[in-house]
Structure 1
Amino acid sequence: MSKFVKTSPQKGEMAILSSEQTPATIFADLKSLFKLPVLMANVLPVFTGFWLALYFSNLTFADHWPLFVLTMLGSTLIVAGALIINNWYDVDIDTKMDRTMNRPTVTGNISLKVVLILGISLSVIGFIFLLFTTIEAAIYGLIGWFVYVVLYTMWSKRRYTLNTVIGSVSGAVTPMIGWTAIDSGFHLVPIVLFMILFIFQMPHTFSIAMKKHKEYAAAKVAMLPVVYGFEMTKRQMVIYIACLLPWPFLLASLGTIFMVIATLMNVGWLAVGISGFFTKDDFKWAHMNFLCSVNYIMILFVMMVIVTLPIFN
């Protein structure tokens, strides 16, 4: 098996092998390279968007499973490609952050040239798969990729605190990809899903930025807590969480149970957010907020699928 060791963190530099890797380390490297938790978090809304489009169009999954496979493969590959290119581009700052310094682009286990080729290849293949669904789904996939790779990673991340707002667009289009593989995106439901994901990503990302404040500062990444401090960040988080409150009511077609549970989760998360103004341990509070955000979005999008299952209708 051929292996690589990176001799320096400069982009485009081919690495050379230094020692044997076990299957476990190879899997760990690939998991880190693909940012597996982030990849899965982005694929779930694609599935939910596809499922809800079937539900509201009175179509069956059995009649559209080939389209489902193309949609999920295409969206997964294009998201994976974008995440890999992000790893390639950010290798210089990843060397300065504890949470990223074990990525194979930093350790040299995979050469930067191979990473770049892999990222571009998966992106192109994913886009081609989406072209076999609908043009609209492919366009949303391309928008998400362009915003994340170009506007977020390469342009705004290191320069502006608005990088979070810009980057959130890429995550928010994922349910639009799934929905538009079936029907036009000019429908209330996918637009609401877009808005929920867009708003959610701000307090979610700010929580991470607070937890890793010192690392972002060392890497000179213009995250809100680094530039404007924790108090400003807390205020922004509470505002964004509060902005989530009305959206479940625009999904009344999903039923009362959904609206009640979603609203309770919104209120609970808002209470956690407000508690940040009184906490003595900002980092512990930021971690609690992070956990709230992760569970909130996962439960919400899984619940959208559950309440539309045939057994509930």
Structure 2
Amino acid sequence: MGAPVDQTIENNNLIEKPAELMKAKGTWRDYVEVTKTGITVSNLMTAFVGFWIATQGPLDMVTMLLAMIGTALVIMSGTALNNFIDRDLDMLMERTKTRALPSGRLEPANVLRFGIILGVLGTITLASINVLTAVLGLVALFFYVVVYTLWTKRTTTLNTLVGGISGAMPPIMGYAAVKGSLDETALILFTVLFIWQVPHFLALAMRKAKDYSAAGFQMLPSVSGFKVTKRHILSYTIALLPVSLFLYEVGAVGIVYFIGMALLGLGYVVLNMSGFFMKDTMKFARMSFIYSLVYIMMFSILIIMDHA
């Protein structure tokens, strides 16, 4: 995709020039920015949870380091390629137009190469553990970059479900790194993370609905409105409560986890029910989003504390 010649975009004061005149002066900080460190760190947390719950006996430090490094590289590859693909629409959103690519600090071709290199290195690192972990990483990368970013994010409100698949892969990648196979515990971990992501990202999409509308992303709050979005948030939160307790049923965790997640799940349901009665929709969206972060953090901590 070539940049338009001397085209002025008045709404964000951005002037694009021919490629040969562009002198992007990106720094290492800009390359770190396109890897979205917040997303990388949060996904590594769940990958470690999967590794931890699969471990019986002493922790294999070498395998753990390889799993964390490989997973991090694959995630950073996905976010860099996401930035590369979305750079045109990122120009239209207030919260993203100052990013390294839309603002011209980095050349698109350099970010594309950077993302591919990270993906290759990550896959090789995961393959050094076992083939299954590497394949899971590639599946996650494909769904995030191709199915979510390149296709569904621009065409259908189902993009949140598609993105949920890639976001639910890190814990089972960590699990596979230890076991070399998947079982019912891995399936439960995947399902919990998959379901959790829907209310989490829909709450965020409510907060950023104007931005998403301006850019043309097909997010549920922008397309179907807040009332429909609240119903989806509540439905998935209700489903999350029993599924999160299945880890206790299969003997992977103890009673402390069961009680903690039961209370957290009930609190999440009550909070999202209250959204139908709150007049301030943005306040509800902010509260629901923050609670979702607390929920997944406590989910991870309780597993680490009470792994059977």
- TM above 0.5, yes or no, is yes
Residue 16 of structure 2 is matched in structure 1 by 8
Q: Any gaps of 5 or more consecutive residues in structure 2? A: 1-13
Q: Is 1:242 aligned to residue 238 of structure 2? A: yes
* Corresponding residue to 1:60 among 55, 58, 61: 58
Q: After the TM superposition, which segments of 4 or more aligned residues of structure 1 sit over 2 Å from their partners?
A: 6-10, 12-15, 29-32
- State the distance in 2 between where 1:180 and 1:188 align: 12
With over 3 angstroms needed to count, the CA separation of the structure-2 counterparts of 1:7 and 1:85, relative to structure 1, is farther
Q: Is 1:90 aligned to residue 91 of structure 2? A: no
Moved more, 39-48 or 120-129: 39-48
- State the distance in 1 between where 2:282 and 2:31 align: 29
- State the distance in 2 between where 1:133 and 1:67 align: 7
- State the distance in 1 between where 2:21 and 2:99 align: 16
**1:184 positional shift:** 4.2
Give 1:1-313 correspondences, 5 Å limit.
Answer: 8=16, 15-17=22-24, 27=29, 29-54=30-55, 58-61=56-59, 64-252=60-248, 253=251, 254-308=253-307
- State the distance in 2 between where 1:247 and 1:77 align: 30
| SS, match of residue 142 in structure 1 | helix
- Asked if the contact 2:91–2:102 (Cα under 8 Å) also holds between the matched residues in 1, the reply is yes
- Asked if the contact 1:7–1:16 (Cα under 8 Å) also holds between the matched residues in 2, the reply is no
- State the distance in 1 between where 2:132 and 2:160 align: 25
- State the distance in 1 between where 2:169 and 2:81 align: 19
| SS, match of residue 301 in structure 1 | helix
- State the distance in 1 between where 2:68 and 2:274 align: 39
- State the distance in 2 between where 1:9 and 1:275 align: 50
- Asked if the contact 1:13–1:112 (Cα under 8 Å) also holds between the matched residues in 2, the reply is no
Task: Work out the percentage of aligned pairs sharing the same amino acid.
Answer: 35
- Asked if the contact 1:185–1:191 (Cα under 8 Å) also holds between the matched residues in 2, the reply is no
TM-score norm. by structure 1 comes to 0.89
**1:186 positional shift:** 2.9
- State the distance in 1 between where 2:144 and 2:100 align: 21
Residues 211-242 of structure 1, C-alpha deviation per residue, up to 9 Å, x if partnerless? 01111000011000111111000000000000
TM-score norm. by structure 2 comes to 0.90
Residues 236-293 of structure 1, C-alpha deviation per residue, up to 9 Å, x if partnerless? 0000000011123311121111011111111101111001100101111101111011
- State the distance in 2 between where 1:14 and 1:60 align: 57
CA RMSD of aligned residues (A): 1.9
| SS, match of residue 186 in structure 1 | coil
**1:59 positional shift:** 3.0
**1:14 positional shift:** 8.4
